[in-house]
A and B are shown apart, each in its own frame.
Chain A
Amino acid sequence: MSTVREILKEHIEWRHQVFKLAKADIVKTYSGAALGWAWAIIKPTITILVFWFAFSIGLRMGGKVAGFPYILWLIAGMVPWFYMSEMITQGAGAIRKYRYLVTKMKFPVSTIPTFVSFSKFTVHLFLLGITLVIFALFGYLPDLYLLQLPFYMLAMLMFFIEWSLFSAMLSSVSQDFLNLVKSIVTPIFWLSGIMWDVHKIDIGWLKTLLMFNPVTYVSTGYRNTFIYKIWFWEQPRSLLYFCIIFLIMTIAAVWSYRKLIKEIPDVL
């Protein structure tokens, strides 16, 4: 518990710097390239178009989903994935990337995952804005269900900050761990029901297992909001499983932080 208090205290005391560094992280990501901010859109757009082409044209699977065009269904689930995939890898590498904050000055290490996450989250908000515009262009205007989106966004943000703290601490001790994380991103993508409909699975145990997957929970949550029109309290079992995973992640993050905080400056 004292570790949790310490982490929260550091966040409150350094909140101004956390926001400054988040801003700096965005600037750093996009300012170096000639096209700058455009890259924040280009990469996701290409990915979505390629998948749309492969599935809709190539595999001829792209029928309407719950009355929505396939491409919209794809976008609704992919948009949170871009944030999550960035956080899985770059969240795990966060402390290594900002090692100068650890080894060259006094800086609260626990806030590094937080500002990296805020930086990625800003890009996510930007993409979300574009998503709303695209839906509007197809004639689907925002409705009441959009009100639950902040819930999923907060769940996603918090979960991946914790993931990042947990994995970044381990990655700073071991490059092996970071490589392991990088190699499981693609499997996670294909196993988490981003490209296929989780609702259609009829193997009971597999469905239960998928409910424990936070990536599935968030991605499906976005689709429930945009496409299926389901409120989050209408699926209490999914919510409960997500809470369990969230709790486990919290414990893992605090454990890894407490275990390694004194060792990290010596090995980075």
Chain B
Amino acid sequence: MSKTVIEFKNVSKIYKLYKNDKMRLLSVFTKKIPYKEKKAVDNVSFKIEQGESVAIFGKNGAGKSTILKIITGVAYATKGDVNVDGRVSALLELTSGFDPEFTGRENIYLKGQLSGLRDEEIKELEETIVDFAEIGEYIDQPVRTYSSGMKARLGFAVNVNINPEILIVDEALSVGDVSFKNKCIEKVNEIIHKDNVTLLFVTHATGTAQEFCKRGIVMKNGKIIYDDDIDAAIEVYDKSIRKKKA
């Protein structure tokens, strides 16, 4: 029996939508300001155990990214209990928190320091990360000059190499080319099996997910509509897309 690293109990996330910024500012001072509610995550419960790799499918706006943000600790749940046990390394929306003004190399250090690594530890990882990212001379250029593919590659290289316990990947593989994608899949497979890392993977590319996930969660309108075997999950997801088209 392995230990549970992520647990959601009846979690909901409600975004408050105000008419404009002015209304939002006023709402800080008075409760009378009207707003609309958008339920991004609706009463969701699940458990993920150490070493599992789980794919999350769903159309845009289904609540996938919100769930990942809650796990990362970036966003807060409105209702329910969330338990996360372990160091989370997250690649949210490609950039994984780079400072655009710093060079790639400086960002490696910054990110390492923020993840609690000592400078010597980062120095040891530096070469590996730079090699993995394959962005050549650009490593010493400011990140703001990077293309989205380069950002994603550096982000991926940093996140998989700083010894995470829980790895969260949101869409990041969709921008890389095939050879880089394969390298990532290989690397992710390696750390899953060798270091017992837990992986959460959000994507629209069902084929990629199949390569390292055994479990799939399908979301629709903030709810989980399927949670079990990956192949069946892909089927459910495909069906829900096709229904839309018909």
- Chain A: residues with CB nearer than 8 A to chain B? 16-17, 20-21, 24, 28, 32, 100-107, 170, 173-177, 256, 259-260, 262-263, 265-267
In the complex, what's the smallest C-beta–C-beta distance from A19 to chain B, in angstroms? Answer: 10
Choose among A106, A262, A263, A267 the residue that contacts B72 (Cβ–Cβ < 8 A).
Answer: A106
Contacts of B90 in A (CB 8 A): 104-105
A176 and B99: CB pair below 8 A? no
A28-B99, A104-B95 are contacts. A173–B72 as well, Cβ < 8 Å? no
A265 and B21: CB pair below 8 A? no
A24-B110, A173-B28, A262-B76 are contacts. A104–B97 as well, Cβ < 8 Å? yes
Contacts of A170 in B (CB 8 A): 25, 28
Those 6 A-B pairs whose CB atoms lie nearest each other, nearest first: A104-B97, A174-B25, A106-B73, A105-B97, A262-B76, A100-B97
**Which DSSP category, helix, strand, loop or mixed, fits chain B's interface?**
mixed
Binary flags per residue of B51-85, CB closer than 8 Å to A gives 1, else 0 = 00000000000000000010011111000000000
Q: Can you list 29 A-B pairs with a CB-CB distance of less than 8 A?
A: A17-B113, A17-B114, A20-B113, A24-B99, A24-B106, A100-B95, A100-B97, A100-B98, A100-B100, A101-B114, A103-B74, A104-B92, A104-B93, A105-B72, A105-B74, A105-B90, A105-B92, A105-B97, A105-B114, A106-B72, A173-B25, A173-B28, A177-B25, A256-B28, A260-B28, A265-B75, A266-B15, A266-B16, A267-B24
Q: Which residue of B lies closest to A256 (CB)?
A: B28
In the assembled complex, the Cα of A105 lies from the Cα of B75 at a distance in Å of 10
- Chain B: residues with CB nearer than 8 A to chain A? 15-16, 21-22, 24-25, 28, 69, 72-76, 88, 90, 92-93, 95-102, 106, 110, 113-114
**Which DSSP category, helix, strand, loop or mixed, fits chain A's interface?**
helix
Q: Which residue of B lies closest to A104 (CB)?
A: B97
Contacts of B93 in A (CB 8 A): 104
A266 and B114: CB pair below 8 A? no
In the complex, what's the smallest C-beta–C-beta distance from A20 to chain B, in angstroms? Answer: 5
B76 and A174: CB pair below 8 A? no
Contacts of B69 in A (CB 8 A): 265
Contacts of A21 in B (CB 8 A): 110
A17-B113, A105-B96 are contacts. A174–B24 as well, Cβ < 8 Å? yes
B21 and A174: CB pair below 8 A? yes
Contacts of B76 in A (CB 8 A): 262, 265
A101 and B101: CB pair below 8 A? no
Contacts of A266 in B (CB 8 A): 15-16, 75
B101 and A32: CB pair below 8 A? yes
Contacts of A256 in B (CB 8 A): 28
In the assembled complex, the Cα of A170 lies from the Cα of B27 at a distance in Å of 11
In the assembled complex, the Cα of A19 lies from the Cα of B110 at a distance in Å of 12
B99 and A174: CB pair below 8 A? no
B114 and A28: CB pair below 8 A? no
In the assembled complex, the Cα of A176 lies from the Cα of B23 at a distance in Å of 11
Q: Which residue of B lies closest to A20 (CB)?
A: B113
Contacts of A259 in B (CB 8 A): 28
